[in-house]
Amino acid sequence: MSVIKCKEVTKIYGRAKAIHNLSFTIEENKITGLIGRNGAGKSTLLKMIAGLIKKSDGEISVFSEQPFNSLKVSSNLIFIDENMIFPNSLSLIEIIKAAGTFYSNWDKELAHGLLTYFSFKGNERYEHLSKGKKGTFNMIVGLSARCPITIFDEPTNGMDASVRKDFYRALLKDYLAFPRTIILSSHLLAEMEHILEDILLIKDGQKCLHMPVLDMKEFAIGLSGQPELVEEWIKGLKVLHKKNIGSNQVYVVVEDQFNKDEKDQVKSKGIELSSVSTEELCVFLTDKMTGGIDDVFNRN
């Protein structure tokens, strides 16, 4: 069942379109990665889904309701980002206690267990925490709330590598025990790819692709070899990336439409075939530049 539906959604700030004609659906009880470069429109999109800001055009449906000013949506969704605000008058343990009165699925034992594991002091004040510790505390609130829709917007900003690893493991373990719809937003993919089921990739406020992670692994293929040979085999295929290697070699990434026999023929011509990781694919699809950074220094 689809719990989030967006149809031709647009959000305009002044003369700039942060989101442009974006359509997709997100299924219930899946972990979806919202991927895109900084400034792609990820946060704007998530805030519209959470009902924090209004859309400019199009249709958004969350639990079959318009999310803005919806009590049903706000009571069944939690939005976690680095700009969260908690009362300075309350200690961390008091915030945890108060949060339990807001969320019907709140797990007090999980919250206290995570506070202890990540070495928080109950009498600390949120405003005195470092950026990384604030992110970790936000994560604890997001997981412990166990809302039917849980949104994490760039949740690991400022976290140490070991804490990020623990966050992903905790999220996956709790999701398996208590399935819900989770959206993880990030401009990085490699660290969290293993816990994602679907990926929604956006560029400049528009959808590049939306598909299961397993399908993305088979979406593209790389060909390396002499330019004239490679060009012959990629005729009619969509080129996602192209880079010259040395004086007489080229590396090209295309949508993989080769069958097994064709791949054997390609190899027999001296062309090397290689897989393309999901992270590389996302980089290629959202690349705003032709060539590469080396071209900046190549002035011949």
Three-point CA angle 87, 62, 57, nearest 5°: 100
Helical axes 161-177 vs 108-117, angle rounded to 10°: 160
Residue range(s) defining the domain that contains residue 233: 217-298
Report the CATH number at residue 130: 3.40.50.300
Q: What was the pLDDT predicted at 291?
A: 58
Whose tokens are 């705003």? That residue is: 288
Dihedral, 288, 291, 294, 298 alpha carbons, nearest 10: -120
- Indicate the residue among 163, 183, 211 that finishes a domain: 211
Q: What is the DSSP string of 150-217?
A: EEEESTTTT--HHHHHHHHHHHHHHHHHS--EEEEEES--TTTGGG-SEEEEEETTEEEEEEEHHHHH
- DSSP lists the bridge partners of residue 207 as 202
State whether 89 and 232 are in the same domain. Answer: no
**Is 294 in a helix, a strand, or coil?**
helix
Per-residue pLDDT of the chain (300 residues; tens, 9 = 90+): 899 999 999 999 998 999 999 999 999 999 999 999 988 999 999 999 999 999 999 999 999 999 999 999 999 999 999 999 899 899 999 999 999 999 999 999 999 999 999 999 999 999 999 999 999 999 999 999 999 999 999 999 889 999 999 999 999 999 999 999 999 998 778 889 999 999 999 999 999 999 999 999 999 999 999 999 999 999 999 999 999 888 889 999 999 999 999 999 999 999 999 999 999 999 999 986 555 666 666 665
Give the end of a domain, one of 211, 229, 258. 211
Radius of gyration of the chain (CA): 22
Last residue of a domain, one of 190, 211, 232: 211
Q: Give yes or no: residues 152 and 229 share one domain.
A: no
Q: Which residues contact 13 (CB under 8 A, 6 or more apart)?
A: none
Q: Which two tokens stand for residue 104?
A: 């019907």
| The pLDDT value given to residue 288 | 62
Do 165 and 277 share a domain, yes or no?
no
**Residue positions counted in the chain:** 300
The DSSP annotation for 43-82 comes to HHHHHHHTTSS--SEEEEEETTB--TT-HHHHHSEEEE-T
Looking at the structure, tell me whether residues 206 and 243 fall in a common domain: no
Q: Give the separation between CA 284 and CA 89, rounded to whole angstroms.
A: 47
Q: List, in sequence order, every residue forming a beta bridge with 206; answer none if it has no partner.
A: 203
